[in-house]
Amino acid sequence: MNKQLKLKLEGISATYSTGEKILPVLDNVSLSVDTGEFVSVLGPSGSGKSTLLKIAAGLLKPERGKILVDGRNMTGLSRLVGYMPQQDLLFPWKTMRQNAALPLISAKLDKKETKARIEELLPVFGLQGFGEYYPDQLSGGMRQRGALMRTMLIESDLLLLDEPFAALDALTRQNLQEWLLKIWGHFRRSVLFITHSIDEAIYLSDRVYVITERPGKNAFEQIIDIPRPRSKSVTITPPFSHYKKLLLEALADNTAAGTK
């Protein structure tokens, strides 16, 4: 079966202006995500990963380059997309049910249908019984699940996730990685995932792109040929260790290139 391209970023370059100084952030970065594929971008802090994701989401316009979605040139155009930043951005004065309903309200769904959709998904996202709780009454992991539920309800078949687990403790992060794979398997959306964790990138992804220190450039692309569904036991297998070695080397020298 031929793969169908969902997202393609071609030759993306971007800068930031700080007063009179121009700061290069991204330099000719290209990547792609096929339909139903989970792709991660791995790189050091400050390498422009979050900027790249905002450009993919249409929130920023690149200095140079092109954004293609389903083959259409969407560079500089606003569009409906499932974008989730590092912070959960839940409204503290709204319950989890009310926060999750916001995309459906924006889409002008009637109250009955909105309620039905929310009730259907609360247990899927591990929030059954917590719909009337406010964000500050819940753990960080539960808030992130609520934020992802709200993102899923945007009904975009492309999800852009910016280090959603970075602020969580190691055990919660591990549990949510397993949970995210189950959710991804259930909905099978195309995912572009930003991380600076090698283990997280390997465990979650079909492919991993490595970008260099700022200004971020393409350094390496790696297919992760580990069968799905995956459990955490794969992290202690020889194939996982092999991919980890390749990605560590790519991050260390920033000169490796090509798909292995």
Amino acid 40: pLDDT: 96
Pairing of strands 5-18, 21-34: antiparallel
pLDDT in tens, 69-116: 998 898 877 777 788 887 778 899 999 999 988 888 877 777 888 888
CA distance linking residue 222 with residue 11, whole number of Å: 19
- Span 41-67, mean pLDDT? 91
Lowest mean pLDDT among 58-62, 108-112, 122-126, 213-217: 108-112
Q: Indicate the pTM of the whole model.
A: 0.89
- To 5 degrees, how large is the angle CA 217–CA 28–CA 69? 110
Domain ranges of the chain: 5-81+156-253, 91-155
pLDDT at 2: 54
Label the pairing between strands 207-211 and 38-42.
parallel
Highest mean pLDDT among 62-66, 96-100, 130-134, 204-208: 204-208
Q: What confidence tens digit (pLDDT) does each residue in 4-47 have? A: 999 999 999 998 887 778 888 999 999 999 999 999 999 988 88
Average pLDDT of span 123-152: 87
For residue 258, pLDDT over 70 is answered with no
The pLDDT, as a whole number, for residue 12 is 95
CA triple 99-105-110, angle to 5 deg: 125
Cβ(100)–Cβ(130) below 8 Å? no
Question: Residue holding tokens 């971008």?
Answer: 41
So what's the architecture of 5-81+156-253 in CATH? 3-Layer(aba) Sandwich (3.40)
Are residues 195 and 163 in contact, defined by beta-carbon separation less than 8 angstroms?
A: yes
Which one has a higher pLDDT value, 211 or 124?
211
Structure tokens that stand for 149 in this block: 């539920």
User: Pick the residue with more confidence: 1 or 168?
Assistant: 168
258: its two tokens:
């090509």
Mean pLDDT of 126-137: 90
Q: What is the pLDDT of residue 255?
A: 44
Percent of the chain whose predicted confidence (pLDDT) is above 90: 44
